[in-house]
Amino acid sequence: MIRLQNPWGEKEWNGPWSDDSKEWEQVTESQKNSLGITVDEDGEFWMPWYSFVQYFTDISVCQLFNTKIFSTSRRYHEEVFYGEWTTNGVKSGAPDDFAGGCLNFSATFCNNPQFLLTVSQPGEIMFALTQREPNEGTKRRDPYVTIGIHVMKVENNRLHRIHQAMAPIGTSDYASARSVFLHLRDVPVGRYIAVPTTYAPREQTTFMLRIYSDHKVEPRLLTKLKFPRVRGTSPHEMAHQRNMERAKQIKQIELQERGESNASEGYRREWTELLEEQIVATQLLLCLR
């Protein structure tokens, strides 16, 4: 026998051992009381195991965490983040690219969202990564994106994103499923970065990351730094400036040592080449702007 409850609390099982079935006549009132059996429209019911196996096709096992502030039982701290893997850039690695794939793709892995955790006391941390239903609200059923999560130990003074993948201390299974989980036990004091990823780069979807810990780990999202481009620092502008400086130096040498009207053929040739480079660099700079 198995005891079940409809979470919506309305319809119940109406086969053998349902609330009003004759099978319950074999059970005394004291036995019903000891089992906590009531006949109410509360959505709770019992089923024979063979009926359960016959009518149910999927089972999701949920782990419940006590997050109440005032509680006599063990309490967990919960942090929830919402994010997405996006590829707004033209190519992988662009500034708005947040879909770098798993560690197999080391060149783009660090593009993924990154979360910094500070562990002040040894303890356990659990991660639950959940992706959006692909066709929520429709009858169509597309496959889930394959997702997973890595956790890496970083320097104790780290405040910003990592730009080179490190060996993880923990990795979840990668699965084409709604949720994946990672349970780390006896995590030493220090700082860590959690990286939720899709399996392959450039796969896009939204996600929810929940972090449970027996001590506060103060997780926060690490954002990409965006520096404004300083005028004159692009490769083309720097080449332009170098050519101008060289041209000035050669011009000064011509005027001082040989005279402008008596410059040697070699100097005139070098001067001409520099002017041609200057024209090309200027045209390229105008096109880029």
Instruction: Provide the angle, in degrees to the nearest 10, between the axes of the packed helices 235-253 and 265-288.
Output: 160
Q: Is 157 one of the catalytic residues?
A: no
- Answer whether 229's CB lies under 8 Å from 238's CB: no
Q: Which of 6, 66, 88, 135 is catalytic?
A: 6
Q: Are the C-beta atoms of residues 179 and 129 closer than 8 Å to each other?
A: yes
Residue bearing tokens 């993924």: 112
Residues acting as catalytic residues: 6
